[in-house]
Structure 1
Amino acid sequence: MQYELLYIVSSSYTDEDVGKVEGNVKALIEKVGARLVETKRLGKFRFAYPIKKNRHGHYILTYVEMEPTTVAKLDEILRMSNEVLRHLILRADEAGGEKFELVQFTEVNLDSKEDRPRRKREEPTAEDKAKVAEDIKSGVAAI
């Protein structure tokens, strides 16, 4: 049965080191008794939140042929690996299998404070001023 394995490698690794990690993961896959079909480097992306003190990571998608009983073994081995920050194993037919196109993250550009129009403050009415003055007088009288 074919599975998709998506794993993330720390951004502290160079491209050469990421290649070595790919080789290590390939060796782990073969050690479990599975067959590597294809590997794609999806690129380096920013995380939504820090993972093990990392803000970016290299995403690698791998297609693997293996028996359903070996999925748990591979999952456990990858969980113990220090090189892989996160991983996810899905059956390829459940994952969709359609071609997809990655969309680059673009930061939202908010207007700076100086560019935004200032909110107009309402001037206090005569009634409000009288009420405040009376509150002050009664507060002073209570002392």
Structure 2
Amino acid sequence: MTPQSDEDEVWRQIVASFNDTAERDSADQPWPDSENVPVEPVHRVVKPAADEDADVEAEQGDEDDDDLDEDGEGRFEPPVPPPLPKLDLPTKLAWVALFGGPAYLLIAAMANWQMEGWALFTAVAAFIGGFVALVVRMGDGPPNDSGWDDGAVL
């Protein structure tokens, strides 16, 4: 037999047994011992307090236990996020216009106010102007401190 005919025969066997059921159901297979994880109970040592200093230490130990979850492992506390960048006056005005125009229209519609044509135009123009101002100020170039090479940083 050639290697090609062996592969063809194996392929035919795979195709022929496609709809056959498995000989052993996965529920019947035993669980491998290497996959078993031993269950160890959490042990806590409690020492009797002899004097006030020991009471203080015991109270501090109780506070430390509050940081532990039910498995006895510590909780993750993320670092404090960096402060938001300071915005200049034109950027602040653009954000106010972007949200202020639609907010005025929404409040005026909900309160059933009579809207003049100039107020309606001003609200829509403020929204569009604020959006355009933010997009224009966004910039699309690399940061100024990137240097001459825009390659990967290792």
More strand by share: 1
More helix by share: 2
Higher relative contact order (CA 8 A, sep 6+): 1
Structure whose CA Rg is larger: 2
TM-score > 0.5, shorter chain as reference: no
* Range into which the TM-score falls when normalised by the shorter chain: under 0.3
TM-score, normalised by the number of residues in structure 2: 0.20
